[in-house]
Amino acid sequence: MKFTVSALIAASSFLSTVSAHGFLSGIGRLSSSERGQVRNYDLIDRQIDSLRNPTEGGLCRGAPRKKPVPLSLTEGGSLTLTQAFSIGAQHIGPCAVEIIDAKDTSKKVTLTSVSGDRGCAVQPLAQFDTNKGSDAKSQCNGKIPAGLVTNDMCLHYWTFETKNVNKITCTDCILRWTWDGTHISKSNPERYENCIDVTITKNGKGGNSDEGPEIEIPDQSKLPVPVPPTVPSVPAPAPNKPSPPAPKPETPAPKPQVPAPKPETPSTGACSNGAYMVCDGTGFLVCHPDQASRAPAFMQCASGTKCRSWGKYIQCA
């Protein structure tokens, strides 16, 4: 592998921001007790970063298909999606929702898009203006993704008008949510995407029935059709096995398929060695290895869970 100075700079600027981000949880206005329909949702308590970190796995992060959920769409109707953003990581940048033909993924229709800085993760589309100073429970209690054990994300509801429904030709489709975090670079944004497998009915009553109030979207101008990021020469992580059917059996949960970094020595309770999170007593510290003067923020693990080191991150499990 060839290493160049610019590659190292690019890699380090990427790494400096991978501690917290966002993902699409599901269709409808999901409460903190409802698990999302997004692919790989079941990794939420084991590998949350595989849902919320910038994507490197191609279309839909390379996540395996799930049983499709019914989705009724109407031209000009409304649809509510539930997004989750890490506290303090509600980056600026555009976002979009597409319907992709599952049998021919070159066939895409854009249901909505928001351009410019005021994207999905900032107000008014995101409801909570959260900060890293305290945990999710104290900032958005009752609006925390179901199953999340890191206590550092809040749910946000995005209701929009569905366009181009007339152009949808698939029934067996993929709803893809994309978000470009332009907080570091507009030309080389952090790309996020998540997919929900859907069976589409057109011209139904439209939208989901229990959606929240309409939110005014400031800028509906069209985005260029997003192109899946090119995968670097490093092989993409192996796709995860399909999620086991609920309810969970008594047997221990299957091990995550993505190779975990080697466990490190028990944490010292202090930020060191370039870690982005370290365990500390009943919770963990969010560190800022690239900003020496910035104080770490303490977060509690969810009750009944313990913090474990996981590479430069932690897991509350």
Q: How far apart are CA 265 and CA 288, in angstroms?
A: 20
Q: Is 126 in the site for Cu ion (CB under 5 A)?
A: no
By CB under 5 A, how many residues form the interface with Cu ion?
2
Q: Which segment (15-23, 110-118, 134-142, 149-157) binds Cu ion by CB under 5 A? A: 15-23
Nearer to Cu ion, 168 or 314 (CB): 314
b/e code 131-141 from CB counts within 10 Å (16+ = b):
ebebbbbebbe
> Nearest 5 degrees, angle CA 261-CA 262-CA 264?
115
- Which stretch, 81-89, 139-147, 161-169, 243-251, contacts Cu ion (CB under 5 A)? 81-89
Closest alpha carbon to 101 in 159, 176, 44: 176
User: d(Cα 264, Cα 278) in Å, to the nearest integer?
Assistant: 11
278 has which bridge partners?
Answer: 285
Q: Does 21 bind Cu ion (CB under 5 A)?
A: yes
Given the complex with Cu ion, which of 89 and 173 has the nearer CB atom?
Answer: 89
- Which listed range, 16-24, 31-39, 42-50, 304-312, lies at the site for Cu ion (CB under 5 A)? 16-24
- CA-nearest of 316, 317, 294, 246 to 34 is 246
Q: State the nearest-atom distance from the C-beta of 17 to Cu ion, in Å.
A: 5
Q: Based on CB atoms, which residue is closest to Cu ion, 89 or 114?
A: 89
Phi-psi region of 240 (alpha: psi -120 to 50; beta: other; left: phi over 0): beta
CB of 230 to Cu ion, least distance (A): 20
Give the residue from 22, 297, 316 showing the smallest Cα distance to 134.
297
User: Shortest gap between Cβ of 34 and Cu ion (angstroms)?
Assistant: 25
- Closest to Cu ion by CB, 54 vs 77, is 54
- How many CA atoms are closer than 13 Å to the CA of 173, on its beta-carbon side? 26
Nearer to Cu ion, 30 or 89 (CB): 89
CA separation for the pair 55, 182 (Å, rounded) = 14
Q: Does 132 bind Cu ion (CB under 5 A)?
A: no
Q: How far is the CB of 153 from Cu ion (least distance, A)?
A: 12
Nearer to Cu ion, 21 or 29 (CB): 21
DSSP bridge partners of 101: 173
Binding residue for Cu ion, selected from 48, 84, 87, 89, defined by CB under 5 A? 89
Nearer to Cu ion, 21 or 108 (CB): 21
CB of 53 vs Cu ion, minimal distance in Å: 8
Query: Coil, strand, or helix at residue 49?
Result: helix
Binding site for Cu ion (CB under 5 A): 21, 89
